[in-house]
Copies of this chain bind each other. A is one copy, B any other.
Amino acid sequence: MRSASDTPIATAPSSPRIRATTIDVPGLTSSKVSPDGRISNRDIGAKLVIVMVGLPARGKSYVTKKLARYLNWLQHDTKIFNVGNRRRIAAGAGGDHVEEPPSPGTNEGTGLVSPDAFTRLDSYYDLSPKSSRSFNAHRRTNSITTSGLDGGMDQSAEFFDPKNKVAADLREKVALETLEELLNFIMEGGGSVGILDATNSTRKRRKAIVDRIRQVAGNELGIIFLESECHDEKLLEANMRLKLQGPDYKGTDPAVALEDFKRRVTMYESSYEPLGDFEERLGMPYIKMIDVGRKIVTHQIRGFLAGQTVYFLLNFHLSARQIWITRHGESHDNVAGRIGGDASLSDEGKRYASALAQFIEFQRKRFHDRQLQKHAMAHLPPRFGDSTPPNPEYTGCCQEDEQGRPLEKNFCVWTSMLKRSIETATDFDEDVYDVKQMRMLNELNAGMMEGHTYEEIRQKWPEDFALRRKDKLHYRYPGAGGESYLDVINRLRAVIVEVERMQDHVLLVAHRVVARVLLAYFLGLKREDVASLDVPLGILYMLEPKPYGVDFKAYKYNPETSWFDELENFELKNEEQKHVEPTIY
Contacts and interface: CB of A to CB of B under 8 A. Distances in A.
A532 interface: no
A246 interface: no
Contacts of A17: 410
Interface in A244-300: 280, 294-300
A2 B401 contact: yes
This chain: copies in complex = 2
Contacts of A296: 296-298
A310 B314 contact: yes
Contacts of A438: 23, 28-30
Interface in A355-414: 398-399, 401, 406-412
Interface in A328-372: 340
Contact of A28 (B18, B399, B440): B440
B295 A300 contact: yes
A26 B315 CA distance: 22
Given A314-B311, A436-B30, A502-B20, A406 B4 contact: yes
A401 B447 CA distance: 52
A23 B503 contact: no
A469 to B, nearest CB: 22
A398 to B, nearest CB: 6
Interface residues on A, range: 35 or more
A333 B437 CA distance: 36
A19 interface: yes
A551 interface: no
B408 A498 contact: no
A304 interface: yes
A178 B27 CA distance: 48
A438 to B, nearest CB: 5
A25 B295 contact: no
Nearest to A448: B480
A9 B503 CA distance: 13
A22 B439 contact: no
The 7 closest A-B pairs by CB, nearest first: A481-B481, A4-B407, A20-B410, A4-B399, A480-B481, A23-B498, A6-B503
Interface of A: 1-6, 9, 16-20, 22-23, 25, 27-32, 280, 294-301, 304, 307, 310-311, 314-315, 317, 319, 340, 398-399, 401, 406-412, 417, 430-431, 434-440, 445-448, 450, 479-482, 487, 494-495, 498, 501-504
18 contacts: A4-B399, A4-B503, A6-B319, A16-B431, A19-B410, A20-B410, A20-B411, A23-B438, A29-B438, A30-B437, A30-B438, A297-B298, A301-B314, A304-B501, A310-B314, A446-B480, A448-B480, A450-B480
